[in-house]
Amino acid sequence: MKGPILVVLAAGMGSRYGGLKQMDRLGKNGEVLLDYSVYDALRSGFEKIVFVIRRDMEKDFRDLVLSRMGAGVKGELAFQELDSLIPPSVLAESRRINRTKPWGTAHALLCAEEKLDAPFTVINADDFYGREAFTVMGKYLSGPAPEDAAIVPYALEKTLSPQGTVTRGVCEVKDGCLASVNELLSIEKKDGRIFNTAPDGGIEPLAPDTPVSMNFWGYPPGIIPHFRTYFEDFLKTSGAQPKSECYLPKAADWFIKNNIIKIRVLKADSDWFGVTYKEDREAAVGRIADLTARGVYPEKLWA
Tens digit of each residue's pLDDT, the chain (303 residues):
688 999 999 986 444 444 555 567 787 888 888 999 999 999 999 999 999 998 988 888 888 788 888 888 889 999 999 999 999 999 999 999 999 888 999 999 999 999 999 999 999 998 999 999 999 999 999 988 789 999 999 999 999 988 889 999 999 999 999 999 999 999 999 999 999 999 999 999 999 999 999 999 999 999 999 999 999 999 999 999 999 999 999 999 999 999 999 999 999 988 899 887 778 888 889 999 999 999 999 988 997
- The domain total for the chain is 1
Q: How confident is the model at residue 23, as a pLDDT? A: 64
CATH number at residue 201: 3.90.550.10
Q: Is residue 298 part of a domain?
A: no
Q: Is residue 180 part of a domain?
A: yes
Phi and psi at residue 133, in whole multiples of 5°?
Answer: -65, -45
Q: Is residue 302 part of a domain?
A: no
Give the Cβ contact number of residue 45 at 10 Å: 17
Q: Is residue 303 part of a domain?
A: no
| Strands 217-219 vs 120-124: parallel, antiparallel or unpaired | antiparallel
Q: How confident is the model at residue 275, as a pLDDT? A: 81
Q: Is residue 220 part of a domain?
A: yes
**Full domain range(s) for residue 250:** 5-293
Q: Residue 181's beta-bridge partner residues?
A: 171
8-state DSSP, 227: H
Q: Is residue 301 part of a domain?
A: no
Terminal Cα-to-Cα distance of the chain (whole angstroms): 30
Q: Is residue 149 part of a domain?
A: yes
Give the Cβ contact number of residue 289 at 10 Å: 14
Give the Cβ contact number of residue 195 at 10 Å: 15
Q: Is residue 86 part of a domain?
A: yes
Report whether 79 contacts 53 (CB < 8 A): yes
